[in-house]
């Protein structure tokens, strides 16, 4: 017996194909076994595959889970934005909400020709991380999350050139169970970053919403700006607008659907 699962391939935080961060979005009638969800994430081989199921609790419109090629994660921003893009285009409306297992209720709203995503903010504090710095090949200030997303590290560099020049030891970095966010003031934007997560199956992520949930409050304190522009300087690259409102970070950007079809699951 073959089940056909509605499937979208979306470039998130992208105004044109082939940039931003790729995500698969799959709409399920009911939850599949976790082992099957993980195998689908591996088969898609994107940084994230987002699965949504109608929420029957009344707390949100949809339930939402995210899988990398190797693990389920507690929070993913770009795949949430991609999910909102798919569902708002398919079903209409201006706002869609998601109930998640560890990140609470998330929402995506239309804004002009793009979208905004609200994520719980992550705060960091100074922390000595010599093994992390050695794997990155850099000496600098390091910070570790104490509120919000766990296992999140920020590494502060002096300028954009240093961020772009990083060439981490991925084998060593893959042994460190952290999302490593390397950041500095940007040349043509407020904040530039690169994000490495080889321990979670993503050597370098293209554009990371959850990382900017940590970067926004980090740079608000340093730049004193209510709204900031950000660029993630990966090979594909992506641009965001971010602002902090109480305990939420709002991230704005467009999405592009590049593939729409069916995923055939035989079993």
Residues taking part in catalysis:
48
Distance CA 64, CA 80 (A): 8
Distance CA 215, CA 34 (A): 31
Distance CA 255, CA 85 (A): 7
């Amino acid at each position: 017996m073959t089940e056909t699962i509605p499937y979208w391939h979306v470039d998130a935080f992208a105004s044109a194909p082939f940039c931003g961060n790729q995500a698969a979005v799959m709409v399920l009638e009911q939850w599949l076994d976790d082992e099957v969800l993980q195998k689908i994430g591996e088969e898609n081989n994107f940084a994230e595959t987002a699965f949504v199921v109608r929420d029957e609790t009344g707390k949100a419109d949809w339930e939402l889970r995210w899988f990398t090629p190797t693990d389920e994660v507690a929070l993913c921003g770009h795949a949430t934005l991609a999910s909102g893009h798919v569902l708002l285009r398919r079903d209409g409306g201006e706002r869609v909400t998601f109930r998640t297992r560890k990140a609470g209720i998330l929402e995506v709203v239309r804004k002009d020709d793009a979208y905004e995503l609200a994520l719980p903010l992550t705060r960091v504090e100074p922390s000595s991380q010599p093994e992390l710095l050695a794997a990155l090949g850099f000496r600098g200030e390091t910070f570790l999350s104490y509120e919000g997303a766990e296992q999140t590290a920020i590494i502060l560099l002096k300028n954009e050139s240093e961020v772009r020049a990083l060439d981490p030891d991925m084998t060593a970095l893959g042994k460190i169970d952290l999302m490593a966010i390397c950041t500095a003031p940007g040349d043509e934007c407020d904040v530039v970053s690169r994000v490495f997560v080889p321990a979670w199956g993503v050597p370098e992520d293209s554009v990371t919403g959850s990382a900017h949930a940590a970067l926004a409050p980090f740079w608000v304190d340093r730049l004193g700006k209510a709204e900031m522009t950000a660029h993630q300087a990966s090979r594909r690259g992506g641009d965001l607008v971010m602002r902090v409102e109480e305990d939420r970070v709002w991230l704005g950007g467009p999405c592009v659907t590049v593939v729409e079809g069916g995923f055939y699951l035989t079993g």
